[in-house]
Amino acid sequence: MLKKSKGLKSRLIELNKFDITNIEGSSSDKMKKIMPKVFKTVPKAISGYKREIAELPEEIQIAPKEFWNEVEEQAKNLGIDLIGFAPKDENLIFEEDHVGGIEVLYQNAIVLGMEMDYDAIETAPEFPAGAESMNIYAELGEATNKLTEFIRSKGYRAIACHPLGDPILYPAMAVKAGLGQIGRQGLLITKKFGPRQRLSVISANISPLPERSEVEFEIETYCRKYRRCVLMCPVSAIYNEPINKENGTVTRIDGDKCIEYFYETTGCSVCIKECPFHKIGYKAMYYSRL
Question: Binding residues for ligand SF4, per CB under 6 A?
Answer: 185, 233-235, 237-238, 253, 258, 261-262, 268, 270-271
For strand 158-161 and strand 197-204, is the pairing parallel, antiparallel, or unpaired?
antiparallel
Q: Which is nearer to ligand SF4, 6 or 9 (CB)?
A: 9
Q: How far is the CB of 240 from ligand SF4 (least distance, A)?
A: 13
Least Å from the CB of residue 279 to ligand SF4: 14
Radius of gyration for the alpha carbons in the chain, expressed in angstroms and rounded: 19
The Cα-based distances of 99 to 94, 256, 282 in angstroms read: 12, 19, 33
Q: Is 266 left (phi over 0), alpha (psi -120 to 50) or beta?
A: left
* Smaller CB separation from ligand SF4, 137 or 156: 137
HSE-CB at 279 with a 13 A cutoff on CA atoms is: 12
Tell me, what amino acid is at 152?
R
Closest distance to ligand SF4 from the beta carbon of 215 (Å): 26
DSSP assigned state of 165 = -
- In the bound state with ligand SF4, the residue whose beta carbon lies nearer, of 158 and 238, is 238
Q: For residues 47 and 36, what is the distance between their CA atoms, to the nearest angstrom?
A: 17
Nearer residue to ligand SF4 within complex by CB, 143 or 233: 233
We find the least distance from the C-beta atom of residue 27 to ligand SF4, in angstroms, to be 19
The nearer residue to ligand SF4, 91 or 249, going by C-beta atoms, is 249
Compute the least distance from the CB of residue 231 to ligand SF4, in Å. 10
Residue 228: other Cβ atoms inside 10 A: 22
Are the C-beta atoms of 167 and 3 separated by less than 8 Å?
yes
